[in-house]
A and B are shown apart, each in its own frame.
Chain A
Amino acid sequence: MLPNLGKTDLVELLRKMLLVRRWEERLIRLAEEGPSFGHYHVYVGQETIGIPALAALRPTDLIFPTHRNHGYLLGRGADPGRLLAEILGKETGLNKGKAGTLHASAPELGIPHTSAIVGGIVPIAAGAALAAQVKGSDQVSVALFGDGATEEGVTFEALNIASLWKVPVIFLCENNTEEALGAAAGGYPKSVTAANDLGNIARSVGVPAVVVDGTDSGAVFTAMKVAAERARASGGPTFVEARVVRWPGSNPLWPELIAGETELRYAWEPEAAPELLIRWYRNQDGLLRYLREMLSASLLEKDEAKEIDSEIIQHVEAAVRFARESAYPPPESAYLDVFARPSQ
């Protein structure tokens, strides 16, 4: 189901999702070419969680991402070139090369802080909601985290305090563990929890929890809208779990384009997809599902979709050129910014 929005907005969401997909695919190519920019994580396969979630919020609402943050930065309108420059460690990067992929943030876009410490962001987002509550603003704060963060005790503590103090926070848990390999199989860590329903962790402290199919953009959008309204009406926190099958390219410890870049025609010709990913593209990729839903609702023609896609690919190429041509920061700048308000 598509989000309950007009055609213009729906096309805009598609653009954003495609931007995320193309930008991330390009990032993996850059990592292959080297030089290495360290360990990184891509948002491929989760576009239909983040982008509709952002659409359900107001621009003044705050969001607090994790190590899997690129989709949110792009979704909130961060310049693709400056985000890429950050990841390549350039002076023109969003954070002047201090953050890289793991910590890129954009306070001016309502993304004050990104933590790459699993669970680290959860109480911080709830604390920002406390400030909103104290100030009497109608701002909502969103903690973004993976299923892995529910293994950390700090997440439970944050849920409990948020429930006690009824702060306007949404806990958006992106559960991408389904069909993940796990560390024991030589892959990316897979969540290991005795709770077969993550929402029960929240419910145990009185935080209402809902589960949505993360490839169902409309369901994500509605769940986030309801949670945001509840928060704004002083109803307290909500736990939203969005489930997806992990994109197989994120199964290894380092992302891989195991079967090349996405082709839009896989949406309508699934048999054209590479063998390795045929099932994923057919049933588990939210982005292609969204595209199919747009086509079958006659909100878009195939040719229009292709045109949008090639525009976006060019836009991404321009971002790559910008990031590559940008200079590295002067080495002395390493000593700046330890304090935002230097004491001397």
Chain B
Amino acid sequence: MSAATTDKAGEHFPDQRPDRELTYAEALVEAIAELMKDDPDFFVIGSYVLGLGPMRALFDQVRREYPMRVLDPPTAEIGFTGFGIGAAMNGLHVMVDLSTASFIFEAFPQVANEAANASYMSGGRLAVPIVFHFLHGLRGGGAAQHSHSPQAMLWNTPGLQIIMPSSPADVRGLLPAAIKSGNPTVFVDHSKLMPIKGIVSVSPKEIPLGVAEIKRSGSDVTVVATSYSVQQALPACDELASEGIEIELVDPRTVVPLDRRTILDSVSKTGRLVIVDETHRSCGVASEIAAIVSEEILEALKVPIIRVTVPDVPVPFSPVLERELDTTPERIAAAVRTQMMRKQLSRP
């Protein structure tokens, strides 16, 4: 699907067509289709890569074109996840789709205790090129058993790369990079990202893992956000800009590996940090980023860090209760305003 053309001498001519606007779901499907086309060893195990929403039918194209390489497993997460891991140990490049993130709990022993340990236990001799894909977070009515964001638990499991795209361009560039990395990788998607539109290059390139993107530059407050929270932070940035507050929005895009440099440089510049993430507050993604900043550049902070996260409460069903826990643009903006109003830390 790569749009670059090659002449007889093998020289590359960049595609001259303009970049397009794609939805996140379209970009994800395009990335999967490209992997299918370019890599005969690439397999998808799982049926609901795009979730249960109206965009799910887009995946049918991949099913139709590559029926032998899209496997519909039984509802047997621990079994089919283990199959994916074993297949990856023996030459296949596998994307295991667990659909709703909560279902990875059914597969935890295989992910956390087998895949994550395999390279280390072999003394670095065994590569396991597998991606565990799921849709995390508050999805509207998912309630307690279908709204998890297990990436922080998985981050506490050495041996797993963790990728959290937030835009069509990012998912397009990060999925191929994840598959080609050769390492077990947790690929964290969000059903609310699926309809989001964005510009995607007509000849997309892989995005290297461990490279954050500054989604907005600004000098007043650094906001680090991941996954769908980035989309929630963007309107907050607009609103705050109209109040004269300039946000620097940093999207790590991958947390393992983590681009510490970009985060630390931004906070060194602004002196203020708000971290927005949909994992629960305690031991969440935001906790780790806050700890890193505190350890490395505490003296750069003008005011204490604020975390905007989902409180330590199972996700309730009622829309009113779900909204109360959400990392909404309003909560993000309020946290930023608090930081601007707070008295600066005085140091001896």
Contacts and interface: CB of A to CB of B under 8 A. Distances in A.
A4 interface: no
Contact of B321 (A39, A119, A189, A334): A334
B321 A118 contact: no
Interface string B302-316: 000000000111101
A329 B47 contact: no
B143 A117 contact: no
A329 B320 contact: yes
A249 interface: no
B106 interface: yes
Nearest to A190: B72
Given A38-B142, A191-B74, A186 B320 contact: no
Judged by DSSP, the binding face of B is loop
Given A102-B146, A184-B63, A253 B52 contact: yes
A244 B322 CA distance: 36
B79 interface: yes
Given A151-B74, A186-B57, A97 B52 contact: no
A39 B106 contact: no
A39 B142 CA distance: 7
A182 B74 CA distance: 11
A102 B318 contact: no
B60 A186 contact: yes
Query: Which of A86, A101, A120, A192: most chain B CB closer than 10 A?
Result: A192
Contact of A153 (B72, B76, B103, B317): B76
Interface string A73-96: 000000000000010011001010
Given A39-B141, A184-B47, A191-B74, A117 B102 contact: yes
Judged by DSSP, the binding face of A is loop
B75 interface: yes
A333 interface: yes
Contact of A102 (B317, B321, B324): B317
A210 to B, nearest CB: 23
A329 B139 CA distance: 19
Nearest to A191: B74
Interface string B72-107: 111111110000000000000000000000110010
A183 B48 contact: yes
Given A153-B78, A189-B47, A192-B74, A333 B146 contact: no
Contacts of A186: 57, 60
A123 interface: no
B63 to A, nearest CB: 7
A331 interface: yes
A97 B318 contact: yes
A334 B140 contact: no
B325 interface: yes
A118 B325 CA distance: 26
Contacts of A120: 145
Interface of A: 35-39, 86, 89-90, 93, 95, 97-103, 115-120, 148-149, 151-154, 182-184, 186, 189, 191-193, 253-254, 328-329, 331-335, 338
12 contacts: A39-B141, A95-B317, A98-B318, A100-B317, A103-B143, A103-B317, A119-B75, A153-B78, A189-B75, A328-B320, A334-B311, A335-B311
Give me the 10 closest cross-chain CB pairs, A-B, nearest first: A38-B141, A100-B317, A89-B318, A97-B318, A151-B74, A331-B324, A334-B321, A328-B320, A192-B74, A183-B47
Given A151-B75, A184-B63, A191-B74, 6 more contacts: A90-B318, A98-B143, A117-B106, A117-B145, A118-B75, A334-B324
